[in-house]
Structure 1
Amino acid sequence: MSWLDDLDDDEPEFDESSVRVRPNPKANRPRTKRRPAHEDARIARVLGVDRGRYTVLVDEDGPDEHLVLAVRARELRRTPIVTGDRVRVVGDTSGAEGTLARIVGVEERTSLLRRSADDTDQVERIIVANADQMLIVVAAADPEPRERLVDRYLVAALDAGIRPLLVVTKTDLADPQPFLRHFEGLDLAVFTSAKGEMPLERIGAALAGHATVFVGHSGVGKSTLVNALVPDANRATGHVNVVTGRGRHTSSSTVSLRYVGAAGRGWVIDTPGVRSFGLGHVDRANILKAFTDLAEIAQECPRGCTHLPDAPDCAIVEAVAEGRLGPTGAGRLDSLQRLLATFADRA
């Protein structure tokens, strides 16, 4: 007789359903996409980003204006947060040493300045949010000014709906007029130094009431200008290599600085110097829109007109040739064509 025969037939049979499972309300709770409303969140401006930590300004222009260090909430891990963003912060927003607030939302942006690695790269790099002006800094010499790089800055600014400004430094080393002729006819405010001195009051008046992003090739004096406009900025300055003619990168991150001048207050947004500026993200149609008078005439152009010099039956080219756009027409058309030419090799 086997041991199976010794089992009592009246013994209950056990299966998996007989096992008692200890309840775990947290583990068994159905997942939800609902997030807290954070009705107590405070609005803040992002001034800078450093290794996952965000320096934000709470209660801007209010009686309780102060700096707070914050991190992003987990639900925003795939949301880019950049200098200039207006964000919602919760938690400890006292700004006391050792405290960390939490960014739980990003307000709608009024503008977004971007660039790509090159013209074929569709992956955009966000430089700054909510700027309404771009101040392009170039040197008359040492290093030599690069018209094509300035063209690319202009394209990016016009695509983002940002007003461009131009500052020319080191005019004591070379006459800037030959360079500036390339931009005649473009609605572009230009500031030049005189005897090595920058017109800080005029530049400051243009900055008041605006958030202005400063861009420029390394070594052109951008950080020096920022330090002159914002004395406590303490941005590092460099020099130009006498062998390569290139400047040394001194600003390693984008940062917003408060400008205070006779004409009012504003924001100076300093960016790292760059030697290239990809436009893979730009919509070509936005360039023509910036030239409102030319865009109106362009409605008479054949469908698919490129508005370049070799474009057949271009209404803008014909209007300029007939003198219908006045003495600045030729210059404005040349500026438009130079900007559009940056896209000539793109599909």
Structure 2
Amino acid sequence: MAQRDTRRLDEDDVRNRPTRHGSRARTKQRPAHDDAATGMVVTVDRGRFTVLLDGIADGAGVLLTAMRARELGRSAIVVGDRVGVVGDLTGAADTLARIVRLEPRETVLRRTADDNDPYERVIVANADQLLIVAALADPPPVYGLIDRCVVAALSAGLEPILLLTKADLASPEEVLANYAELDIPAIVTSRGADLAPIMAVLDSHVTVFVGHSGVGKSTLVNALVPGAARSTGVVSEAGKGRHTSTSVFALALPEPAHGWVIDTPGVRSFGLAHVSADDVLWAFPDLEDGAAQCPGSCEHLSAADGCKLDAWVAAGHSTPTRLDAFRRLLVSRKDLGGAIPLP
């Protein structure tokens, strides 16, 4: 067979293959979606987001399912986020809208898997309170986890509130005394107790509920929001709570109250790799000026290491109990590699 003389080929002999995406030039410009409806993400489940649209013409919100638009890339979308949505906004069965815009967040509650994990996990956005639920018995309170939740709340700009359950099984005095110097609001309750004091704290706020499994958190949510149907379970014989909630879920408080309850799965650890000593110090304004006198690398744990806070307290600018509380939170932030084991 004679070989073709490639020196005599011209452009008409070149085989043109159609491109996969056609000949249209690519562009980085994205549609503005100025007409997107706005709403709040209330659940996240395997890449699908349940969004409650803001009240529209008839004054009622619409609950719909949406997916993330490609232009958002890998941006994390979590419960509490305010988003812009386009597409089918009827909320009818088997319809799917698109989230095309993520509004700026006012607050972000984060945690890491442990204190050496550089990857921060955003739990909830735009909340203003963190209700730390702890049982007084069965299982007993885990101070390390409570301390870490306090640090996480303060560093995120949320107001920490301590809710002590099962007061019919044990006295709350020891726990209350342990947090007296932190000026954290505390509520004590038991099964069947009046919910009015709790509802008063929740009214007109977006409150995240957090606590390890078995403390009665889901039972409380079901009582506060009839119809919530959050799963509940019993405490195992080993004293460790069974995980009863498996997802983050925002629930509107029933009228006449206004606000949201955001329930989270029971946690066994609360890593704080993203929190610095200065974040904790923000909650102790009486110690801030004293800490400013410390060396730049000071961890504020001991006068032997150059910390000036002991002298600051000795001069009467704060109290030893406040300094002890501050250092306890610092130690809790680093203790046990982020894992707070249950009893």
> Shared topology, TM-score over 0.5?
yes
Q: Which of 206, 212, 218 does residue 211 from structure 1 map onto? A: 206
Instruction: Kindly indicate whether the alpha-carbon contact (under 8 Å) linking 1:184 and 1:332 is maintained by their aligned counterparts in 2.
Output: no
Instruction: Kindly indicate whether the alpha-carbon contact (under 8 Å) linking 1:92 and 1:99 is maintained by their aligned counterparts in 2.
Output: yes
Q: Please state how far the C-alpha of 1:77 moved relative to its aligned partner.
A: 3.6
Residue 301 of structure 2 is matched in structure 1 by 308
Q: Deviations over 1:91-144 (max 9, x none)?
A: 111112221110111111111111111111111111111111100000001001
**Aligned partners of 2:56 and 2:297: how far apart in 1?**
49
Unaligned ranges ≥5, structure 2 = 338-343
Q: Which of 75, 78, 82 does residue 79 from structure 1 map onto? A: 75
Using a 3 Å threshold, how does the CA distance of structure 1 residues 305 and 154 change in structure 2: closer, same or farther? same
Overall identity of the aligned pairs, in %: 53
**Aligned partners of 2:35 and 2:208: how far apart in 1?**
31
| In the alignment, structure 1 residue 192 sits paired with structure 2 residue 188 | yes
- Taking the TM superposition and a 5 Å limit, the aligned residue runs for 1:70-149 are 70-149=66-145
Residue 37 of structure 2 is matched in structure 1 by 42
Instruction: Kindly indicate whether the alpha-carbon contact (under 8 Å) linking 2:303 and 2:310 is maintained by their aligned counterparts in 1.
Output: no
Q: Deviations over 1:25-70 (max 9, x none)?
A: 9612221111111111111100001122111011159813111111
Q: Please state how far the C-alpha of 1:24 moved relative to its aligned partner.
A: 7.2
Residue 254 of structure 1 is matched in structure 2 by 248
Q: Which of 290, 302, 314 does residue 283 from structure 2 map onto? A: 290
**Divergent runs of 4+, >6 A:** 22-25
* Counterpart AA for 1:174: A
Q: Deviations over 1:153-187 (max 9, x none)?
A: 11111111111000000111111211222212102
* Counterpart AA for 2:298: C
Residue 9 of structure 1 is matched in structure 2 by none
Q: Which of 243, 263, 267 does residue 260 from structure 2 map onto? A: 267
| In the alignment, structure 1 residue 65 sits paired with structure 2 residue 58 | no
Using a 3 Å threshold, how does the CA distance of structure 1 residues 330 and 69 change in structure 2: closer, same or farther? same
Using a 3 Å threshold, how does the CA distance of structure 1 residues 197 and 323 change in structure 2: closer, same or farther? farther
Instruction: Kindly indicate whether the alpha-carbon contact (under 8 Å) linking 1:42 and 1:89 is maintained by their aligned counterparts in 2.
Output: yes
**Aligned partners of 1:266 and 1:3: how far apart in 2?**
84
Using a 3 Å threshold, how does the CA distance of structure 1 residues 216 and 23 change in structure 2: closer, same or farther? closer
Q: Deviations over 1:311-346 (max 9, x none)?
A: 556443234334443xxx333222211111135578
Q: Deviations over 1:199-230 (max 9, x none)?
A: 52121111111111100010000001111111
Q: Please state how far the C-alpha of 1:257 moved relative to its aligned partner.
A: 0.2
- Taking the TM superposition and a 5 Å limit, the aligned residue runs for 1:155-194 are 155-193=151-189
Instruction: Kindly indicate whether the alpha-carbon contact (under 8 Å) linking 1:192 and 1:198 is maintained by their aligned counterparts in 2.
Output: no
Unaligned ranges ≥5, structure 1 = 5-12
User: Which stretch of structure 1 is more off in the superposition, 311-320 or 49-58?
Assistant: 311-320
TM-score, normalised to structure 2's length?
A: 0.89
Q: Which of 14, 23, 28 does residue 33 from structure 1 map onto? A: 28
Give secondary structure in 2 for the equivalent of 1:335.
Answer: helix
* Counterpart AA for 1:230: V
Give secondary structure in 1 for the equivalent of 2:223.
Answer: helix
Instruction: Kindly indicate whether the alpha-carbon contact (under 8 Å) linking 2:129 and 2:208 is maintained by their aligned counterparts in 1.
Output: yes
Q: Which of 265, 275, 281 does residue 274 from structure 2 map onto? A: 281
**Aligned partners of 1:182 and 1:309: how far apart in 2?**
21
**Aligned partners of 1:265 and 1:89: how far apart in 2?**
24
Using a 3 Å threshold, how does the CA distance of structure 1 residues 45 and 60 change in structure 2: closer, same or farther? farther
**Aligned partners of 1:344 and 1:19: how far apart in 2?**
67
Instruction: Kindly indicate whether the alpha-carbon contact (under 8 Å) linking 1:192 and 1:199 is maintained by their aligned counterparts in 2.
Output: no
TM-score, normalised to structure 1's length?
A: 0.88
What is the root-mean-square deviation of aligned Cα atoms in Å? 2.5
Using a 3 Å threshold, how does the CA distance of structure 1 residues 61 and 324 change in structure 2: closer, same or farther? farther
* Counterpart AA for 1:253: S
Give secondary structure in 1 for the equivalent of 2:254.
Answer: strand
**Number of residue equivalences:** 331
User: Which stretch of structure 1 is more off in the superposition, 100-109 or 289-298?
Assistant: 289-298
**Aligned partners of 2:2 and 2:155: how far apart in 1?**
86
Q: Please state how far the C-alpha of 1:192 moved relative to its aligned partner.
A: 0.4
